Structure 1
Amino acid sequence: MKTATVKQLKDELKHNSTEELVELCLRLSRFKKENKELLTYLLFESHDESGYIEAVKQEIDVQFETINTDSYFYIKKSVRKILRIIKKYARYSLKKETEVELLLYFCNKLKDFKPSIKRNVTLTNIYDRQILTIKKIVGTLHEDLQYDYNLAIEELEE
């Protein structure tokens, strides 16, 4: 089966009634957890972005608390998992400010993590890459936001 393009899907969806669209959304939500999560964000959380950010930060805290610190191998796996979660939630929002906030929070948590990430090259590289990603995104934002976020970045780089 050949998958239709986004334009084709958009044109076809215009011809459906509201009832049919609701049914399609519900059917879509049954197939993948991510579809259900995205619908949850769009319907319940998109109107309160700061609340959404706080909820994701709480989840990040929980994830950091459950990291197995027996070896750096387990720490790396867990840190990558947390980063995947952050990227997924940032993708739902589509707001660059949200992504920057979440990545800054992640970098702060990683910087303060015990045992120190400075003893492991891979973890240090993950941290440095996220700082570069934040800088790249901040460069596209409004000047006032750039100033505020650059202060936070400088604090992380100390």
Structure 2
Amino acid sequence: MATDAYGLADIKKEIQHLAAPQLADLVLRLARYKKENKELLAYLLFVAGDEEAFIAQSKYEVSMMFYIMPSQAFAALKVLRKILRLITKLSRFSGSKTVEISLLIGFCNNYLEYVNPKVSYKPMRTVFIRQIEKIGKLIAKLHEDVQGDHQQEFDELVVKAEEKLSWFTV
């Protein structure tokens, strides 16, 4: 029988019957094969308990990527997409919408700070607009108690963008 024929439920049942040393061997073997598996395991073991520190460290990494971004529009767009891939990966690791919103708001703030506001390259503008739309949709999915905190940050971001970017309108 092929290995892909087993579903997640079957794997979960089998894992529950394993002893701790066997389970540790399996996890380490998984971590050896893919870099992303190793990164996820490191996140779960060392960082998951301190979400605020994780957000701060991630925002710092993103801002450093913005800082070294080239000035040519095409090359800068490639860096923006790379940053967004990193944010997506980090958001999947945490599994939290609030972390994703915080990272995306940080991305947009860095965009406003480091990207030339007069850039006429439409794909660069589209990246920013899509992230603003994504943040709005994510905030709408949150519980009402948590929405208020992020909504205020989002509103400030939109006002800042309207002031700085002549082409941006909500």
TM-score by length of 1: 0.93
CA distance in structure 1 between the aligned counterparts of 2:154 and 2:121, rounded to whole angstroms = 21
What amino acid maps onto 1:20 in structure 2?
Q
The match for 2:158 is 157
String of CA shifts for 1:108-139, please: whole Å, max 9, x gaps: 10122232265321111111111111111111
Deviation of 1:2 after TM superposition, in Å, equals 4.0
Matched, 1:124 2:125: yes
Deviation of 1:55 after TM superposition, in Å, equals 0.9
Aligned length: 157
Q: 2:70 aligns with which of 40, 59, 68?
A: 68
CA distance in structure 2 between the aligned counterparts of 1:144 and 1:108, rounded to whole angstroms = 24
The match for 1:50 is 52
The match for 1:13 is 15
1:47 counterpart SS class: coil
Greater RCO, 1 or 2 (C-alpha within 8 Å, sep 6+): 2
Asked if the contact 2:70–2:76 (Cα under 8 Å) also holds between the matched residues in 1, the reply is: yes
Q: Any residues of structure 2 matched to 1:20-31 within 5 Å, and which?
A: 20-31=22-33
String of CA shifts for 1:34-55, please: whole Å, max 9, x gaps: 0011001100101100001111
Deviation of 1:101 after TM superposition, in Å, equals 0.3
What amino acid maps onto 1:37 in structure 2?
E
What amino acid maps onto 1:26 in structure 2?
L
CA distance in structure 1 between the aligned counterparts of 2:68 and 2:140, rounded to whole angstroms = 34
CA distance in structure 2 between the aligned counterparts of 1:145 and 1:112, rounded to whole angstroms = 27
The match for 2:91 is 90
What amino acid maps onto 1:142 in structure 2?
H
Q: 1:39 aligns with which of 34, 38, 41?
A: 41
TM-score by length of 2: 0.87
**RMSD over equivalenced CA pairs, Å:** 1.4
- Percent identity reads 37
Asked if the contact 1:117–1:124 (Cα under 8 Å) also holds between the matched residues in 2, the reply is: no
Q: Any residues of structure 2 matched to 1:143-154 within 5 Å, and which?
A: 143-154=144-155
Matched, 1:115 2:95: no
The match for 1:105 is 106
1:38 counterpart SS class: helix
Asked if the contact 1:111–1:117 (Cα under 8 Å) also holds between the matched residues in 2, the reply is: no
The match for 2:164 is none
Asked if the contact 1:68–1:74 (Cα under 8 Å) also holds between the matched residues in 2, the reply is: yes
Runs of 4+ in 1 over 4 A off after TM superposition: none
Deviation of 1:68 after TM superposition, in Å, equals 1.5
